Homo-oligomer: A and B are copies of this chain.
Amino acid sequence: MTAPTIDVVALGSAIVDVLATAQDTDLEARGLVKGTMALVDAVRADELYAGMGPAVEASGGSAANTVAGVASFGGTAAFIGKVRDDQLGAVFAHDIRAVGVSFATEAATTGPATARCLVFVTEDAQRTMTTYLGAATGLGPGDVDTGVVAAARYTYLEGYLWDPPEAIEALRTAMSAASDAGRQVALSLSDPFCVDRHRKDFLGLVDDHVDVLFANEVEIMSLFEVSSLPEAIDEVQRRGRCGLAAITLGALGSTIVTPDATIDCPASPVEHVVDTTGAGDLYAAGFLHGLASGAGLMRCAELGSLAAAEVISHLGARPQVALATLL
């Protein structure tokens, strides 16, 4: 087994976020559930966009945000995901490469446009998302560079991507390549609705393939269909579901679960929380950067909290300063 040359390779949806402020009543009027992500088709996306306030565009995508964070910490990272050869696709490719992430997936030359996520940010800094996946669903097993996966210490999978059949195949191809090369697989549960749709598959992955699991409190309770965090932690530990789970708890920080211990880490202080978009993604970035650097688990969680604190202090899901400068 050769030494890994990449810290983290991520597979995810290649998305440009469209962020605007909104009122709670706007969410209600549109039938949106605060704090969640809903998939929409092109017609519904256009309809929602037409009623949205003035917006800014910023590259996003959950797993893409995570590897952007890893690179921002100074780690080596790669991303596999699909855009269309359109203006927003060029924006996505530019931004992820500009932060130092290697991104070589070919853009689709036909078919739907680059994915967009309409992010409604309410005054409580909560984000409510509607995603038109567009070209992102075109990711297939043929797009997975198994050489890159085999060279990466961690292969990070976005639960959100577990929807289009071709993309599921791509994720399975990556997991096999990682496993064959003796590397670790990390999974983010992404969203409670996402967990609801794919509970059986996700449980199977957690039992058999996942070394590091990322989730928030609601997602992990939903996965195991339990009603409290301690019960969810029991599930992870007693049934040997996976080696390591990092559970984010918003302002309360995070809890790291190993087979025989739990470690609590506080959140990093933030003067003014503006927009929580990307908080979980950046927590995963810091945590994985820590793991890849050989840091202890408490330090990994601290790095996660640090990165999350930066990203929630401004609009948008990617760091606005080089995270390495915060160390």
Residue in B53, B56, B95, B315 whose beta carbon sits within 8 Å of that of A54 in the complex: B95
Q: How far apart are the CA atoms of A68 and B53 in the complex, in Å?
A: 12
Q: From known contacts A21-B320, A320-B21, infer whether A55 and B87 are also in contact, taking CB-CB under 8 Å.
A: no
Shortest A199–chain B CB gap in Å is 35
Interface size on A (CB < 8 Å)? 28
Contact with B along A46-88 (1 / 0, CB 8 A): 0001101111111100000000100000000000000000111
Residue in B55, B91, B320, B321 whose beta carbon sits within 8 Å of that of A95 in the complex: B55
Residues of B near A318 (CB, < 8 A) are: 54
Shortest A248–chain B CB gap in Å is 24
A94 within 8 A of B: yes
Q: How far apart are the CA atoms of A59 and B52 in the complex, in Å?
A: 14
A187 within 8 A of B: no
Is the Cβ of A58 less than 8 Å from the Cβ of B57? Answer: yes
A218 within 8 A of B: no
Shortest A43–chain B CB gap in Å is 15
A316 within 8 A of B: yes
Is the Cβ of A50 less than 8 Å from the Cβ of B87? Answer: no
Interface of chain A, main secondary structure: mixed
A98 within 8 A of B: yes
Q: Which residue of B lies closest to A95 (CB)?
A: B54
Q: How far apart are the CA atoms of A54 and B322 in the complex, in Å?
A: 11
Residues of B near A59 (CB, < 8 A) are: 54
Shortest A58–chain B CB gap in Å is 4
Q: From known contacts A21-B320, A57-B57, A320-B21, infer whether A52 and B87 are also in contact, taking CB-CB under 8 Å.
A: no
Shortest A85–chain B CB gap in Å is 12
Q: How far apart are the CA atoms of A21 and B321 in the complex, in Å?
A: 9
Is the Cβ of B98 less than 8 Å from the Cβ of A53? Answer: yes
Residues of B near A149 (CB, < 8 A) are: none
Is the Cβ of B54 less than 8 Å from the Cβ of A57? Answer: no
Is the Cβ of B52 less than 8 Å from the Cβ of A98? Answer: yes
- Give the top 4 A-B pairs by smallest Cβ distance, nearest first: A57-B57, A87-B87, A56-B58, A54-B95
Residues of A within 8 A of B (CB): 20-21, 49-50, 52-59, 68, 86-88, 91, 94-96, 98-99, 113, 315-316, 318, 320-321
Q: List 30 A-B contacts (CB under 8 A).
A: A21-B320, A21-B321, A49-B94, A50-B94, A52-B98, A53-B98, A53-B99, A54-B59, A54-B94, A54-B95, A54-B96, A54-B98, A54-B99, A54-B318, A55-B91, A55-B94, A55-B95, A55-B98, A56-B56, A56-B57, A56-B58, A56-B316, A57-B57, A57-B58, A57-B91, A86-B87, A87-B87, A87-B88, A87-B113, A315-B320
